A and B are shown apart, each in its own frame.
Chain A
Amino acid sequence: DGGITQSPKYLFRKEGQNVTLSCEQNLNHDAMYWYRQDPGQGLRLIYYSQIVNDFQKGDIAEGYSVSREKKESFPLTVTSAQKNPTAFYLCASSQVGPEKLFFGSGTQLSVL
């Protein structure tokens, strides 16, 4: 079955630590995205990539980094510069065009 896989489902970060969230898709989609959801808030775009080896900052990119070395993979690193990392992180993909986003099941990141 095609879909988007995010791992891990739960992740804990210590002070000053970088952590990486995994996102893999087998839908053959060109575009991939990372969103952050805080309680009672909408989804806010962190980074997106429309093609391999290229990505753009979203609305809240500070303290995050990404890479897109393969079409199927778009990992997100939450760096120590992100002072408020506790949130639910969602990865999504789509074909470039007026297509709907397909979301993964999310990763809940918490700070120890």
Chain B
Amino acid sequence: DQQVKQNSPSLSVQEGRISILNCDYTNSMFDYFLWYKKYPAEGPTFLISISSIKDKNEDGRFTVFLNKSAKHLSLHIVPSQPGDSAVYFCAASLNYGGSQGNLIFGKGTKLSVKP
């Protein structure tokens, strides 16, 4: 049973427009959420995170929104650039302040930003 779901396997966006990547989770005990970006044949790189005590975190072009009542988070990229084309993984943690060995990852969404 998937605890972290990214229901859109792929997303295509025009350069300069907004990209919105969605993530749903089932376990209300998750207390920390992260987004990672991954290029082919490379390891994921950390993008942005949010604690469950917040509903928004912003870092440059990237903003993550958390809706705890809906068990939903989203990553907004504005404006989208061709270099943003990658697979984006949503991850959730059950143990904020502890080991991240218990990070639960979604299956990823492949974002394509077209010039």
Contact = CB atoms under 8 A, between A and B. Distances in A.
Interface of A: 4, 6, 9, 31, 33, 35, 40-45, 48, 50, 56, 58, 88, 90, 92, 94, 96-106, 108
Contacts of A58: 101
A50 B98 CA distance: 10
Interface stretch (B64-72, B75-83, B105-113): B105-113
Interface in B86-106: 89, 91, 93, 96-103, 105-106
Given A40-B9, A40-B107, A48 B101 contact: yes
Given A100-B34, A101-B103, A43 B44 contact: yes
Interface of A is mostly: strand
Interface string B24-60: 0000000010101000011111100101000000000
Contact of A45 (B32, B89, B96, B103): B103
6 contacts: A31-B101, A96-B99, A98-B100, A101-B44, A103-B36, A106-B42
Given A42-B105, A42-B108, A50-B101, A101 B96 contact: no
Interface residues of B, number: 28
B87 to A, nearest CB: 10
B89 A42 contact: yes
Contact of A105 (B34, B43, B49, B99): B43
A31 B99 contact: yes
A97 B101 contact: no
A90 B43 contact: yes
Contacts of B34: 100
Contact of B43 (A96, A98, A106): A106
B8 to A, nearest CB: 13
Contacts of B32: 98
B41 A108 contact: yes
Contacts of B99: 31, 48, 50, 94, 96
